[in-house]
Amino acid sequence: MNTPRSVLFVCLGNICRSPSAEAVMTKLAHDNFLKIHFDSAGTADYHVGKAPDSRAIEVGEGLGYKLSHLRARQLTIQDFYDFDVIFAMDKNNLDDIRKIMPANATARVGAFDRTPVADPYYGNISDFDVMFEHIEQASKHWIDTWKHPQ
């Protein structure tokens, strides 16, 4: 995959998985001198305007990622033209994105990882540890891919 200029992460609520992926990738890209713009959104509007889940902030900041300034927003049709890549965090997210994807969308849409990133919202803090480990592992894969474009 060519190195994208912009990547949007999408989950359901935009308060747990996608803002965490945005924060991890922003740091890893910066550390690797990759100039890529990252953002995140939710397929649902439940939490629009809210900061990430306090457990995501706590675990993420403990690992050195900045999330507390992020605010949830809902995926828009314009996103399909504004971003080079749209990554779904799980299979339901991917299905929901594809349902509203315009036929002439310019973004490439796909799964962030082969294994869906489990929704930690109804879990406990250890589920957020697992979520960050999963996101870090998948993020490293994409950073390596984009550092060595084919």
* Catalytic (active-site) positions: 11, 17, 119
Q: Give the footprint of ligand 4NP on residues 34-93 (CB under 6 A).
A: 46
Name the phi and psi angles at 114, rounded to 5: -60, -40
Give whichever of 128 and 142 is closer to ligand 4NP, judged by the CB atom: 128
- Which residue number has the CB closest to ligand 4NP? 13
H helices of the chain, in order, are 17-31, 54-62, 79-82, 91-100, 125-147
Considering only the stretches 8-16, 63-71, 73-81, 99-107, report the one whose residues sit in contact with ligand 4NP under the rule CB under 6 A.
Answer: 8-16
Q: Does the protein bind ligand 4NP through residue 119 (CB under 6 A)?
A: yes
CB environment 58-89: b (16+ within 10 A), e (fewer): ebbeeeebebeebebbbbeeebbeebbbbbbb
What gap in Å lies between CA 10 and CA 107, rounded to an integer?
13
- The residue within the footprint of ligand 4NP, chosen from 17, 27, 55, 134 (CB under 6 A), is 17
Shortest distance in whole angstroms from residue 150 CB to ligand 4NP: 31
Site residues (vs ligand 4NP, CB under 6 A)? 11-17, 46, 119, 121
